[in-house]
Amino acid sequence: MTNPLLSQWDTPFELPPFVQIKDEDFAPAFDVAIGEARANFAVIAKNPDAPTFANTIKAMELAEEALGRVLSVFYNLAGADSTPMREELQRDFSPKLAAFSSEISMNEALFARVETLWNTRDDLGLTGEQARVLMLSHRGFVRAGAQLRGGARERLKEVLERLAVLGTEFSQNLLVDEREWFMELGKDDLEGLPDFVLDAARAAGQEKDVDGPVVTLSRSLITPFLQFSARRDLREKAYGAFVARGANGGETDNRGLAAETLALRKERAKLLGYVSFAAFKLETEMAKTPEAVRGLLMDVWEPAKAAANADAEILAKMMHKDGINGDLEAWDWRYYSEKRRLIEHDLDEAELKPYLQLDRMIEAAFDCATRLFDLEFSPLDVPLYHEDARAWEVTRDGKHMAVFIGDYFARGSKRSGAWCSAMRSQRKLDGDVRPIVVNVCNFAKGDPALLSFDDARTLFHEFGHALHQMLSDVTYESISGTSVPRDFVELPSQLYEHWLEVPEVLQKFATHAETGEPMPADMLKRLLAAGTYDMGFSTVEYVASALVDLEFHHGAAPSDPMAKQAEVLETLGMPHAIRMRHATPQFAHVFSGDGYSSAYYSYMWSEVMDADAFQAFEEAGGAFDPEMASRLETHILSAGGSKDPEELYKAFRGRMPGVQALLKGRGLV
């Protein structure tokens, strides 16, 4: 029987044939596809003709097409719907892919062709896009070790293969800890919990085969539990389990993996001639240097810490009034902050949540995209990889633009967090290939599913990433969509969050789950007025994580990352009742791969721009100003990585922004 991963996909929009694909198909498909890619690169390297852009760079762009198809399906499934076999395949694939990547990057004949093109680039008559692709290709070879020789070259290969193994193990350990822990709630354990939390806890219990409600380590469940549970002992127990993920001892403990990862990254940087891994990593980002990153983070840290400390005093007094002596602890913050929000803003999450139905928030995200970019969304009845996933065709003026897949509910087989990926990226090199884009979230199930305002913001955030993919309009896949520097990639996603807070959007789509009535004007006003509520807390937990990440990778690699983490936090004066958003053993952004290593700051770097960019809309004709929407699409969303991001932003806005818009937007000035 033909392997469905290797055959032509005679499916609507050439979607992967999910119903035909079995886990057993991935390994043989991988072997065939990687062999085909290896042969394609060998043909390019051995080509007797003089190197040209077409026979070298363009050919390399197409060399891994089959491998890309297999891996895009596999890694989407492995992240969103893991199985024991998929986890085993991840462990098998990761070192093989790292070895293959090194084999290509360190192919002397291949690099010689790229080097020749680079050295004669001014005489090649390249388009701007081609020049960018050539630069990125040459830089990628150099940074991957193409200029190394002898023992240094072989050692770098070993380091990269080991790092790939460590990243996979880190992710899988975290998934196991998150999947296996849960706390059953008896009838005496439910005090303070509103119906929507109980409904989510009962649904989680069903998934765990428990007859009754449970608390799991999914953020979508544990966060509201910490907000509402009047049982301080249970809050402490649940919070303790949450922060212990990856640090429970035994086979799933991530602390040793983190230490080895940091040591190997330092060695990698040294082999390539950099003083630190942070210096190596940031060279290609907008920030450029660790000093620039630290400068931004510290500009935000001090006002955020001051706000958080002031808030902590208020919350501690509330706790003491309840007869609880001692310090405000991390498992108390959300509980008393929720009480304070009710007092100061008259906002009750239990009252608010019925107005934030998942389906209506999806409609809101789509409607904003329609008004801004003329996109239309039509539901598709097609087989997908899980019953929770659903799909839409995206069109503009009758033309097919993309397939969008939304997978919104938490489950034990899904890694935590939220993300956007592409099962197929846009390109025009060999025909007009349109993307298949996936948004994955971890919301609590319900009938109907109800979101917190933070959940709704997450939905808009990930859809902003999706728009970056769907509106991409470049020739080469290597610069398509979100293929941009890490500290620029969050601009479209964080910018799109602003449309959730546009009053007319909520007036239309925030409708009550039972009555269908729109959110009352007074509640809407109170919700938006509370937009910066508790911003000291959220800013401190984020910036602390970003600064620890930076210090891990700038300077000597710590032999004990937990001790280094404690040292950094003590130096910063971390407020007692706030923890890092992602402590080291759970810091998947940093340790599951290189993506956000030394770059967790990038959300804030992008936020400087997104605050300024939305201000541009407000200064023009408002949130849906057509000229600004056109500029945003032309210079950012459709451009992918075709130009330097600073050039793209300046083309959109006319200048680069300062930090003041961010501080103002967070209510920290």
3-state SS, one letter per residue, for 447-502: CCCECCHHHHHHHHHHHHHHHHHHCCCCCCHHHCCCCCCHHHHHHHHHHHHHHHCC
Is it true that 12-147 and 354-529+603-665 share their CATH fold? no
Distance CA 14, CA 8 (A): 8
> Does residue 183 sit in helix, strand or coil?
strand
- The DSSP element (H or E) to which 400 belongs, if any, is strand 399-409
Q: Which residue has the tokens 């990862």?
A: 261
Q: What is the pLDDT of residue 525?
A: 95
Under 8 Å between Cβ of 126 and 57: no
Two structure tokens written together for 666: 């967070």
Distance CA 309, CA 633 (A): 41
pLDDT digits (tens, 9 = 90+) for 588-607: 999 999 989 999 999 999 99
Cis status, amide bond into 383, omega within 30 of 0:
no
Q: Which residue has the tokens 């680069």?
A: 656
Q: What is the pLDDT of residue 652?
A: 97
Distance CA 56, CA 60 (A): 6
Nearest CA-CA partner of 357 in 455, 442, 438: 455
DSSP 133-176: HHHHHHHHHHHTTTT--HHHHHHHHHHHHHHHHHHHHHHHHHHH
Q: What are the structural domain ranges in the chain?
A: 12-147, 181-245, 275-346+535-599, 354-529+603-665
pLDDT digits (tens, 9 = 90+) for 254-305: 999 999 999 999 999 999 999 999 999 999 999 999 999 999 999 999 999 9
Distance CA 551, CA 472 (A): 35
pTM exceeding the 0.75 threshold for the entire prediction: yes
Question: What HEC string does 289-346 produce?
Answer: CHHHHHHHHHHHHHHHHHHHHHHHHHHHHHHHHCCCCCCCCHHHHHHHHHHHHHHHHC
Under 8 Å between Cβ of 528 and 501: yes
Distance CA 400, CA 377 (A): 10
Distance CA 500, CA 355 (A): 13
Under 8 Å between Cβ of 143 and 231: no
Q: What is the pLDDT of residue 669?
A: 83
Q: What is the pLDDT of residue 284?
A: 96
Parts of the chain with a pLDDT under 70 = 1
| CA angle, 349 then 350 then 351, to 5° | 90
Indicate the residue type of 593: G
Q: What is the pLDDT of residue 424?
A: 97
Under 8 Å between Cβ of 134 and 117: yes
Q: What is the pLDDT of residue 660?
A: 87
Q: Does domain 12-147 have CATH number 1.20.1050.40?
A: yes
Nearest CA-CA partner of 134 in 146, 108, 116: 116
Cβ-based neighbours of 234, under 8 Å, separated by 6 or more = 183, 185, 189, 215, 225
Q: What is the pLDDT of residue 447?
A: 87
Under 8 Å between Cβ of 452 and 445: no
Q: 354-529+603-665: which CATH number, 1.10.1060.10, 3.20.20.10, 1.10.1370.40, 3.90.1150.10? A: 1.10.1370.40
Distance CA 352, CA 526 (A): 11
Q: What is the pLDDT of residue 293?
A: 97
Nearest CA-CA partner of 266 in 17, 564, 517, 38: 564
Cβ-based neighbours of 60, under 8 Å, separated by 6 or more = 41, 44, 110, 137
- The DSSP element (H or E) to which 403 belongs, if any, is strand 399-409
Two structure tokens written together for 348: 């009750």
- Catalytic residue positions? 462
- Other Cβ atoms within 10 Å of 418 Cβ, number: 18
Work out the angle between the directed axes of helices 65-80 and 84-105 (0-180°, nearest 10): 140
What φ, ψ does residue 485 adopt, rounded to 5°?
-55, 150
